[in-house]
């Protein structure tokens, strides 16, 4: 399997499977002398971990990170930062029914066809358990990129959508409820909706909005590593993501240039921000904001038709502990991937004017 690394200079390599002994990673290229508060890493892991509420999978993992190298007396040393997170609550028997069959719309079929061997337990390497390594590395990256600040929240679950722009919301309030939506009334509706879907053994998708503040002008390499292109690649690398849009996104296609142009203020800021804080692949100093759409995940706890490895169609019943809607747990994953992109671009931004 090629390409288990992400980033050009600030680079994460992740390893591990859902039901293996442990998952982890190595962060290469983190500069020396960055103060690291390990408790902040654990807070992000706790925001991602399974079993955190009634609307997430009930797999119970402590997800305690152990750092093996690269941090000494609370600061990075500039050497590789190695870390691991133990798997403690695997129930591999829950997956015996997919040993010889493929779940529709999961990665079972393509892994088998590509590699000819498949760790079917919990989805193996295709499981979003892999993202635990991204959250650790992203949390280290967040501490390196400060004062750049990243906050994501749930904007949509199924057809329940917040229609206001993020600028009219206190987006920090998303952390005050289990669905991570900053509007308490909408949050309640989303929680009830996911609970209903869960009772039916079904799944539902959603959209996460991410807002990045205090970004200096000038981040982004304007040909092949445009800031938005790298953010898009980062987001589309997350399990179950179907779409990425920044700034006006798809809605911008229906506007006129005269409406869509972000006219300047005398200080170089802009009166509107349809550009989403990026022009020509380079940050312009305004907030960067983008949306990430997640599908309703494949594993449904209902009868469904699957394809066996022998090439026959058969009726199967979904089993195991699964997320009815992944967006509440994916909020810290989106933030982590964004932080890795900003850390990398800060380090790449070394060939600008002095």
SS3 275: coil
Q: How far is the CB of 110 from ligand FMN (least distance, A)?
A: 9
- 156 within 8 A of 194, measured Cβ to Cβ: no
- 173 within 8 A of 264, measured Cβ to Cβ: no
Q: How far is the CB of 124 from ligand FMN (least distance, A)?
A: 9
Task: Please select the residue that binds ligand FMN; options are 179, 190, 235, 326, rule is CB under 6 A.
Answer: 326
Q: Which is nearer to ligand FMN, 203 or 283 (CB)?
A: 203
Rg of the Cα atoms in the chain = 21
Q: How far is the CB of 300 from ligand FMN (least distance, A)?
A: 8
Residue 239 binds ligand FMN, judged by CB under 6 A: yes
Q: How far is the CB of 107 from ligand FMN (least distance, A)?
A: 4
Residue 154 binds ligand FMN, judged by CB under 6 A: no
**CA–CA separation, 258 and 280 (whole Å):** 19
Residue given tokens 């469904």 in the structure block: 304
Task: Please select the residue that binds ligand FMN; options are 34, 36, 98, 107, rule is CB under 6 A.
Answer: 107
Altogether, the residues listed in the chain come to a count of 354
**CA–CA separation, 166 and 289 (whole Å):** 9
Residue 87 binds ligand FMN, judged by CB under 6 A: no
Residues 6+ positions from 152 with CB-CB distance below 8 Å: 174, 180, 208, 209, 210, 211, 331, 332, 334, 335, 338
Q: Which is nearer to ligand FMN, 97 or 260 (CB)?
A: 97
Residue 139 binds ligand FMN, judged by CB under 6 A: no
Task: Please select the residue that binds ligand FMN; options are 61, 183, 221, 323, rule is CB under 6 A.
Answer: 323
Residue 126 binds ligand FMN, judged by CB under 6 A: yes
Task: Please select the residue that binds ligand FMN; options are 329, 341, 342, 343, rule is CB under 6 A.
Answer: 329
Q: How far is the CB of 119 from ligand FMN (least distance, A)?
A: 13
CA 143-148-150 angle, 5° bins: 85
Interacting residues with ligand FMN between 38 and 57 (CB under 6 A): 57
Q: Which is nearer to ligand FMN, 107 or 191 (CB)?
A: 107
Sign of CA dihedral 119, 123, 129, 131: positive
Q: Supply the angle between the helices 38-48 and 327-348 in degrees, to the nearest 10.
A: 140
Q: Which is nearer to ligand FMN, 50 or 277 (CB)?
A: 50
**CA–CA separation, 137 and 203 (whole Å):** 29
SS3 150: strand
Sign of CA dihedral 83, 234, 344, 275: negative
Q: How far is the CB of 55 from ligand FMN (least distance, A)?
A: 12
**CA–CA separation, 259 and 252 (whole Å):** 10
Stretch of 39-47, 111-119, 296-304, 343-351 lying at the interface with ligand FMN (CB under 6 A): 296-304
Q: Which is nearer to ligand FMN, 218 or 296 (CB)?
A: 296
Task: Please select the residue that binds ligand FMN; options are 76, 84, 127, 248, rule is CB under 6 A.
Answer: 127
Q: Which is nearer to ligand FMN, 239 or 273 (CB)?
A: 239
Closest CA to 65 of 29, 31, 16, 32: 16
Interacting residues with ligand FMN between 332 and 351 (CB under 6 A): 333
Q: How far is the CB of 123 from ligand FMN (least distance, A)?
A: 6
Residues that bind ligand FMN (CB under 6 A): 57, 106-107, 126-128, 238-240, 295, 297-299, 322-323, 326, 329-330, 333
């Amino acid at each position: 399997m090629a390409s288990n690394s992400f980033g050009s200079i600030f680079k994460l390599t992740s390893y591990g499977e859902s039901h293996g002994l442990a998952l982890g990673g190595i962060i290469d290229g983190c500069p020396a002398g960055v103060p690291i508060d390990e408790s902040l890493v654990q807070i992000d892991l706790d925001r991602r971990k399974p079993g955190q509420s009634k609307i997430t999978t009930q797999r119970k993992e402590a997800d305690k990170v152990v750092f093996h190298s690269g941090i000494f007396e609370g600061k990075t040393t500039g050497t590789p930062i190695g870390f691991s997170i133990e798997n403690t609550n695997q129930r591999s028997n829950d997956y015996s029914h997919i040993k010889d069959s493929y779940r529709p719309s999961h990665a079972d079929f393509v892994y088998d066809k590509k590699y000819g061997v498949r760790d079917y337990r919990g989805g193996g390497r295709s499981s979003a358990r892999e993202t635990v390594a991204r959250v650790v590395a992203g949390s280290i990256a967040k501490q390196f990129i400060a004062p750049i600040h990243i906050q994501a929240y749930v904007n949509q679950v199924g057809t329940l959508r917040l229609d206001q722009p993020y600028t009219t919301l206190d987006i920090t309030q998303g952390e005050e409820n289990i669905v991570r939506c900053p509007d308490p009334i909408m949050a309640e509706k989303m929680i009830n909706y996911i609970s209903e879907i869960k009772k039916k053994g079904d799944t539902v998708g959603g959209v996460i909005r991410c807002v990045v503040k205090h970004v200096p002008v000038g981040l982004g390499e304007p040909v092949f590593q445009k800031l938005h292109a790298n953010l898009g690649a980062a987001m589309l690398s997350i399990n179950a993501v179907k779409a990425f849009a920044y700034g006006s996104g798809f809605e911008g296609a229906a506007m006129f240039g005269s409406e869509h142009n972000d006219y300047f203020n005398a200080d170089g800021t802009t009166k509107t921000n349809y550009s989403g804080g990026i022009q020509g692949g380079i940050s312009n100093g305004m907030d960067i904001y983008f949306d990430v759409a997640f599908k309703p995940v494949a594993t449904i706890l209902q009868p469904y038709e699957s394809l066996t490895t022998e090439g026959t169609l058969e009726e199967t019943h979904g089993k195991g502990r699964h997320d009815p809607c992944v967006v509440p747990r994916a909020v810290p994953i989106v933030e982590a991937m964004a932080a890795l992109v900003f850390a990398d671009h800060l380090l790449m931004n070394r060939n600008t004017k002095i």
